[in-house]
Structure 1
Amino acid sequence: MRKLPYFLEKYFWDVDFPGIDKKTYSAFIIERILEFGDKKSIRWMMNSFNLDEIKEVIIASRILSKKSANFWQIIFKIERDNILCFRKPSLQKQKMIWKY
C-alpha cells in the first residue's frame, strides 16, 4: 500500500486518510488536488503521477468544478469539447407521453 504524505490529509476530510492507496485511488486523489490543492500538493501530484494520467482525469471527471476544469484545460492545453464537466447534463425533462 502506497500511503500519501501527511500534508495532503486536509484534502481528504471525508474519507479514512490512512486507508487511501495512491495506486488504487489515483483518479480520486488527482481530482481532489486539482480542485482544492495548493502549490505544494500540485507539485507533489505532478511528480507522483504521469501527465497523461492527470489529463485523463481532467477529461473524464464530472466532479471538477467548471472553474477548476477551465483553469486546468488552459494549463494542459486540452480541447474544451473533450472535457465531460463542460457538457450539458443528459437528463432533460421528457415530454409527457400519456396524460392521465
Structure 2
Amino acid sequence: MSIVVHTIHGRQYAYVSRREGKRMVQTYLGAMSRPDVQAVVEGLSEEKGIPERLRRLFWDTDPESLDPSRYATAIIERVLEMGDLQDVRWLQHRYTGTTIAQVLTLSRGLSPRSRAFWNLWFGREAPCAP
C-alpha cells in the first residue's frame, strides 16, 4: 500500500494505491488542500514498518528492518497464528482480502487449526482434507 499524489491542473489529489492480485487499485482520498485528507496522508505515510503493538510477535527479528510489503506473507502468517483481534484488524487494514486469502490457501507456516479457524472467520470454504 502506498500514497500517490496526482497533480491535475495545478491541484493535488491523493490516492491510496494497493495491489490486488496482478492489478493495481487506487482509491481516491480527496484534494490535498483539505486538512482531513492531509492528516490521512500523513498518517498513512508514517506507517512504514509494523506498529509498536505488533512487535511482540516478531521477537526473533529486528522490527525496524521488517518491510510490510516485502515480507507480507511472513507477517500475515505470524499475525494469524499468534495475534489477537486488534492485530487482525490492523492486518485487514494493511493488506487486501485477496492477499490474506492467498496466504491462508498457500502458506505452510500456519497450523491446520489456525487455517481452519481463519477460513471460518473470513467466510471462506476450507479445502477438503483427504
Normalised to the residue count of structure 2, the TM-score between the two structures is 0.59
1:55 aligns with 2:109: no
1:45 aligns with 2:102: no
1:39 deviates by 1.5
Question: Any idea what the Cα deviations from partners look like across 1:38-93, whole Å, max 9, x if unmatched?
Answer: 121111101111100000000011110111001011122333227xxx67xxxxxx
Equivalent in the alignment of 1:97:
none
Aligned residues between the structures: 84
- Of all paired residues, the percent bearing the same amino acid is 35
Equivalent in the alignment of 1:23:
69
The one-letter amino acid of 1:14's match is D
Question: Any idea what the Cα deviations from partners look like across 1:2-54, whole Å, max 9, x if unmatched?
Answer: 21111110000111111000111111110000000112111110111110000
Aligned residues of 1:2 and 1:23 also touching (Cα < 8 A): no
Which structure dedicates a bigger proportion of its chain to helix?
1
Which structure dedicates a bigger proportion of its chain to strand?
2
Equivalent in the alignment of 1:8:
54
1:74 aligns with 2:83: no
Instruction: Find the aligned partners of 1:19 and 1:72 in 2 and give their Cα distance.
Output: 27
CA RMSD of aligned residues (A): 1.9
1:35 aligns with 2:81: yes
Equivalent in the alignment of 1:90:
none
Provide runs of 4+ in structure 1 moved above 3 Å. Answer: none
Instruction: Find the aligned partners of 2:103 and 2:125 in 1 and give their Cα distance.
Output: 14
The one-letter amino acid of 1:18's match is E
Greater relative contact order (CA < 8 Å, ≥ 6 in sequence): 1
- Which stretches in structure 1 are left out of the alignment for 5+ residues? 88-100
